Amino acid sequence: MRFCFFSTEISLTAERFSALCKRVRAEFFLVYNPSIFNDYLVKIPFLSKFFGCDDENYIEKLIKKKPDLVGMTLYSDVQLHRKLDILKKIKERLPDVKIIVGGPHVTISGEDILKRFSFIDFAVRGAGEGALEGILKEKDLSELPGLIYRTREKIVCNNWKFSPNEELYNIPQKNTLYSRKFPYLKKSFVIDSNYGCLFSCSFCYHSIFDKKSIVFRDPKRLVDDILTAQKNGAKMVFFFDDNFIILKQKTLELLNIYRKKISIPFICIVHPTLLDEELINAMKEAGCIGIEMGVQTMNEELRKKYLKRFEKDKDIINTMKLAQKYNIPLKIDHLFGIPDQTEEDHIRAFLIYKKFNISHVSTFFLMLYPKLEINKILLEKGMIDNNTLVDIEKGNISNFHKHPAVEVDPNILKLEAMAALIPIFPYNFIKLILKKRLYRMMPNSLPFWFFRFFIYFLEAIFSKQHVMSRREMYIYYKTMKDSIFSKIKEFLKGGIV
């Protein structure tokens, strides 16, 4: 069977599915549209088309592969209906191809997806390896975990569990699909060491699932994958887990093997209630050069009341102090759009971040997924209405960076741009700008995407540990450069003729 995965963003899922196809002896193809000027950062259609990122170009590439099965990951964000349109066009041109979708939006609303979109044949809840393996092996559909499919009479939703099959999760990964076209990506090897999250934050889609366990990669196999990446040119590892230190003893076991066998440094994500002296010392000895932590807000009351995050400010500050003590750069995730959040809340948080020499502050706006507890809270607070709630359930909501899902004061947008400057300038200078509200002097006429693009550019330049920003800026640069050179060659060739 020929399986083609269509992606508009770099995806670890594609890497896992590629390894799975090799295991079952199926052909795997990746069609990747870099989507510059048509992503969650910025949408300028004529520039996207000029630089060769028009979806039609990539649909044609997929058609030429003549796949039997086409897969795509769907998120509840501004890209959802663009992706659905891509899949619809593929089905129109290849009526016999089977289309399978997965991802957070499908896990939450998979049955609804099949009811509303007849061009989709299969949806998968949770990790998709088990269902995909069964389809590739042409097994009975009723036996495949998490699969949603149609019969003549009804839509069938198979039983599923949140965690992936441990054997399939441990299939070796090389993560070379995207670096073939974008060689710079080889420098940072992105992989997860565990799957799942035991917390239930009200704004995260993890919160609505029945999570009874975390699945871990076998540490020896994981280290073998990293050694292979190191031989292929990797200079750094980014553990893209929701929480690298979710179980202390498992983490210490991995760190011990990593310290003995791996010579390149790593970055990871932690939770403020779990990091202690023993862990951070082991992380430092193993080569940790960067930590990322979700704080969201330094208003403890709002964090507990609306976000259902129960760590204390002292837990967060303790993590900041540990990072300082062990000289490991700490990157903070900060959230805009929380109910009752004030401009003063942001200013206070930013000054605390600066006080503890946070290496970078990544800012996000509240995202609204279907069925989340935060949606009811926003409805009660009057921040969204019932029509918006219906749109959220269908995925008809502008999410992520491009447009906040909830209305935000223009001055807050300017504060977001300020967050990127926190690590660059001295404390007293930052304090002056914040306390005197000098950031408000930025012109209101600047479009929202300008702030996001500006911030990502600063992150890529000044924050070595912001792996994803550097990757995205590189993809913009490489795609534009290759497109311009290609146009020049075509022009010269035409001129010679």
pTM score of the predicted model: 0.88
Q: Compute the radius of gyration of the chain from its Cα atoms.
A: 23
Distance CA 473, CA 460 (A): 7
Report, in this order, helix, strand and coil percent for the chain, each rounded to 5: 45, 15, 40
pLDDT tens by residue, 461-484: 665 556 767 787 888 889 999 999
Tokens of 37: 């000027």
Distance CA 92, CA 269 (A): 42
Residue from 441, 280, 309, 294 nearest 361 by CA: 294
Instruction: Look at residue 496 in the predicted model and tell me its pLDDT.
Output: 47
Instruction: Look at residue 361 in the predicted model and tell me its pLDDT.
Output: 87
Instruction: Look at residue 454 in the predicted model and tell me its pLDDT.
Output: 67
pLDDT tens by residue, 351-397: 999 999 998 888 888 888 888 899 999 999 988 889 888 888 887 77
Phi-psi region of 95 (alpha: psi -120 to 50; beta: other; left: phi over 0): alpha
Which residues in 96-115 are b (16+ Cβ under 10 Å) and which e?
A: ebbbbbbbbbbbbbbebbbe
- DSSP annotation of 184 reads G
Instruction: Look at residue 162 in the predicted model and tell me its pLDDT.
Output: 75
Q: Cβ neighbours of residue 274 under 8 Å, at least 6 residues apart? A: 243, 245, 246, 248
Instruction: Look at residue 402 in the predicted model and tell me its pLDDT.
Output: 38
Instruction: Give the H/E segment covering residue 165.
Output: none
What is the 3-state secondary structure of 10-30?
CCHHHHHHHHHHHHHCCEEEE
Instruction: Look at residue 297 in the predicted model and tell me its pLDDT.
Output: 97
Instruction: Look at residue 99 in the predicted model and tell me its pLDDT.
Output: 98
Walking along the chain (497 residues) 10 residues at a time, the average pLDDT comes out as 94 90 94 89 85 94 96 86 95 97 91 94 92 96 95 92 79 83 89 89 82 83 94 93 94 96 96 97 96 96 96 97 96 92 95 93 84 91 88 72 58 80 88 93 67 64 65 86 89 65
Instruction: Look at residue 181 in the predicted model and tell me its pLDDT.
Output: 87
